[in-house]
Amino acid sequence: MQMSEQQVHAWSMDANQYVADEDEITYSCRVSGSLLLEEIVISCGIEGVYAILNAAKQRLDESQQQRVKGFAEWWRMREATVFAVSYVSEQLLEVEVSGLSGVNLGNLLEQTFTEDMAAVGACRALSQLLPDTNRGIPQPHILALFSSLTELLKQASDETMHLVLETLQAAVRAGHESALSIEHVISPIILNMWALHVSDPFLSIDELDVLEAIKYAPRCAHPLVARVLPYVGPFLKKPQQQPDGLVAGSLDLLTMLLKNAPTDVVKAIYEVCFDPVVRTVLQSDDHGEMQNATQCLAALVSGGKQQLLTWGGDPGYTMRCLLDVASRLLDPDLENWSLFEDDDDGCDDDLLSAADPLNEINLANYLANFFREFSKGDRPLFDHLCQFDTSSEESCTNGGESVIVPSIQEI
């Protein structure tokens, strides 16, 4: 399963060709070898798994010996071993969990977390193997891997960047507690890359996935949000000065951070972004910006609940802003470019709704339910706001223009 001389030459000259060739489902010795390993596991069961584990350890040891002796191609055996193990990692880890194996797969992984991890081939194998590693990797090794991956990001092309980002995402998830110690290094790099690639749906999604993995790592959500808000806040406050896609992308990033976030994180995002998000819903004629703004606002309201009305210091102001939003979403003129009709790429609305129930227009309906629940929870304040609302028909903010909005009772 080692790379042939021809493959080494071709892939060394062009890493993109490596990615393309490995993605193709075509006959090769490497593919045949992985299929043979799968068959060994199926046919021989536990004994086959033991044989693969012991063979992997032996080959990694041989590779290390070659390296010490100065062999130029010592890495080929290691790359082939990790590549092979990744194909049967699920079965190998099941044996490890049972405690019956004398060889620890985690130890095999640790042998690969060295300075040679800048190899694209190792990224491909690790991107498959790391998601199956359900236990933490020792901190020195995971930090070495993070260091190598961040260096590789700086020289990756578009095709290889997808692979490095995929591996980085898997490493963050496998690193668990270690992610906190590298968040301050990785997050700024990924944010800068995301801003550069925001108009590229494939790379920007990969970069958002890495940030989401960091968000869910232990104790990383708060420092990540504190880093993101000063970064995207200016984009939203001066949307006309931003490149195409950056405002919509920023809103998408905020929505990701808001999902399943603790209340203090939701409040921090509200304090910086509530006004710009509302303004985007009220003023933008860009389909992507308005759709992402409604989703972001829905996530804010869902996460903040009734407390959101008091965060700005003036519940009446916040209420009027939400009424303005409901007014525009209920505007019949918007039916000509419905936020929730099928997109040109054929994306099915039902699939979007299944992924995020707030994606249908139903932010207006959601706000109506929000007001009803608020009236039940704090009737005196609700009645006070109703009196304040009926005394004025003007919007809280819409670029200085007056907007006729429905009353709370009408909603």
pLDDT on residue 408: 45
Pairwise CA distance, residues 331 & 292, whole Å? 18
Helix axes 315-329, 363-377, angle to 10 degrees: 150
Q: What's the structural domain count of the chain?
A: 1
Q: Looking at residue 362, what is its pLDDT?
A: 59
What is the chain's pLDDT, residue by residue, as a tens digit (411 residues)? Answer: 766 677 666 666 565 666 666 555 566 777 788 888 888 888 888 888 888 888 888 888 888 898 899 888 787 788 788 777 777 777 666 655 455 454 555 555 555 544 444 556 567 667 766 765 555 556 666 777 788 788 878 777 776 788 889 888 988 888 878 889 889 999 999 999 999 999 888 899 999 999 999 999 999 999 999 999 999 999 999 998 999 899 999 999 999 999 999 999 999 999 999 999 999 989 888 888 988 998 899 899 889 888 888 898 888 888 888 888 888 877 766 654 444 444 444 443 443 343 344 443 456 666 666 666 666 665 665 565 555 454 444 455 544 444 444 444 444
| Position 350, amino acid | D
Under 8 Å between Cβ of 408 and 385: yes
The encoded tokens of residue 314 equal: 């003036």
**How many other C-beta atoms can be found within 10 angstroms of the C-beta atom of residue 243?**
12
Q: Is residue 349 part of a domain?
A: yes
Look at residue 354 in the predicted model and tell me its pLDDT. Answer: 36
175-178 long-range contacts (CB < 8 A, ≥24 apart) are 175/136, 175/137, 175/142, 175/146, 175/217, 176/136, 176/217, 176/218, 177/136, 177/139, 177/218, 177/219, 178/136, 178/137, 178/139, 178/142, 178/143, 178/146
Q: Tell me the three state secondary structure of residue 346.
A: coil
CB proximity list for 249: less than 8 A, separation 6 or greater: 194, 198, 199, 204, 292
Task: Establish how many alpha carbons lie within 13 A of residue 326's alpha carbon, considering only the half-sphere containing its beta carbon.
Answer: 22
Question: What pLDDT score does 343 carry?
Answer: 44
Q: Is 293 a member of any domain?
A: yes
The packing angle between helices 201-216 and 158-175, to 10°, is 10
Instruction: Please count the other Cβ atoms lying within 10 Å of the Cβ belonging to residue 98.
Output: 10
Residue 331 lies inside a defined structural domain of this protein: yes
Please check whether residue 139 lies inside any domain of the structure. Answer: no
Distances (CA, A) of 133 to 115, 147, 288, 306: 21, 20, 38, 41
The reply to whether 280 falls in a domain is: yes
Domain-located, residue 107: no
Cα-Cα-Cα-Cα dihedral sign, residues 395, 397, 403, 407: negative
Decide if 295 is inside a domain.
yes
For residue 328, being part of any structural domain is answered with yes
Per-residue tokens: 371: 């007001």
Of 242, 13, 16, the closest CA to residue 124 belongs to: 16
Q: Are 328 and 334 in contact (CB under 8 A)?
A: yes
Q: Which residue range is the domain that position 304 belongs to?
A: 227-411
- Tell me the angle at which helices 287-304 and 263-283 cross, rounded to the nearest 10 degrees: 150
**CA distance linking residue 257 with residue 208, whole number of Å:** 10
Q: What pLDDT is stored for residue 92 in this prediction? A: 64
**Residue 258 contacts residue 269 (beta carbons within 8 Å):** yes
